């Protein structure tokens, strides 16, 4: 475990998440971490940036850069097709991303957020994520009425219902059948080093 070899501080806004952390920990928002500049040799952000609003994202990136003496590692979904994972609430009929993701990142987009740092290594890895042709996806959702069906219940951010539209019909099945078989690795990880 990394905490046995290095001094590690876990930071999260959730008390529940922090209850699983076995190293020193701090409850704080990624947008405002109450620690001095360049407190850490390496700062790691794992599966967090995609959940932030645009204003929160800018603040969180600023905090990552502020706290790092030298290195930053960022992990996010790889070029996620956000619209593919839209769920339609069965109560208020609003659509929302099943996992609360608000941003999709390419390697270039991610690197551009850290101009004071140079990219040392980029990895695309993990399970293969099927892609959906945009026109077929719009047809499947807006005409056939079929949206993503999450395996685990999610709360609608608008009305907090856990009921979502489950619909399958001949048109939605045709869209699925016609969709080209393309995919890419699910995760994107980047190691950055502060420029001299």
Q: What is the mean pLDDT of residues 79-104?
A: 97
Q: What percent of the chain has pLDDT over 90?
A: 93
Mean pLDDT for the stretch of residues 154-177: 94
**174: Cβ–Cβ under 8 A, 6 or more apart, which residues?**
none
Extract the runs of DSSP E, i.e. beta strands, from 57-165.
68-77, 86-88, 95-97, 117-130
* C-beta atoms surrounding 71 within 10 Å: 16
The band of 109, judged by pLDDT with boundaries at 50, 70 and 90, is very high
Domain range annotation of the chain: 31-127+183-194
The predicted model scores a pTM of 0.92
What average pLDDT score do residues 116-131 get?
97
Query: Per-residue confidence at 1, pLDDT binned at 50, 70, 90?
Result: low
* Residue partners of 94: CB distance under 8 A and separation at least 6: 88, 156, 158, 159
Taking only the tens place, the pLDDT of each residue in 42-62 is 999 999 999 999 999 999 999
What architecture (CATH level 2) is domain 31-127+183-194?
3-Layer(aba) Sandwich (3.40)
Residue 3 CA to residue 5 CA, distance in Å, equals: 6
């Amino acid at each position: 475990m990394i905490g046995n070899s290095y001094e590690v501080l876990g930071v999260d806004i959730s008390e529940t998440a922090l209850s699983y952390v076995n190293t020193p920990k701090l409850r704080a928002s990624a947008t405002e971490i109450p620690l001095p500049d360049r407190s850490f040799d390496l700062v790691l952000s794992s599966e967090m940036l995609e959940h932030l609003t645009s204003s929160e994202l800018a603040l969180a990136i600023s905090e990552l850069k502020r706290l790092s003496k030298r290195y930053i590692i960022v992990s996010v979904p790889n070029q996620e097709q956000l619209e593919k994972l839209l769920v339609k609430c069965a109560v208020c009929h609003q659509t929302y991303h099943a996992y609360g993701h608000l941003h999709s990142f390419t390697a270039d987009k991610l690197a551009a957020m850290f101009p004071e740092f140079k990219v040392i290594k980029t990895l695309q890895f993990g399970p293969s994520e099927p892609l959906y042709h945009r026109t077929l996806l719009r047809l499947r959702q807006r005409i056939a009425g079929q949206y993503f069906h999450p395996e685990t219940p999610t709360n609608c951010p608008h009305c907090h219902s856990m009921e979502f539209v489950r619909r399958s019909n001949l048109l939605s099945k045709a869209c699925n059948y016609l969709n080209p078989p393309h995919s890419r690795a699910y995760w994107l990880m980047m190691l950055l080093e502060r420029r001299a």
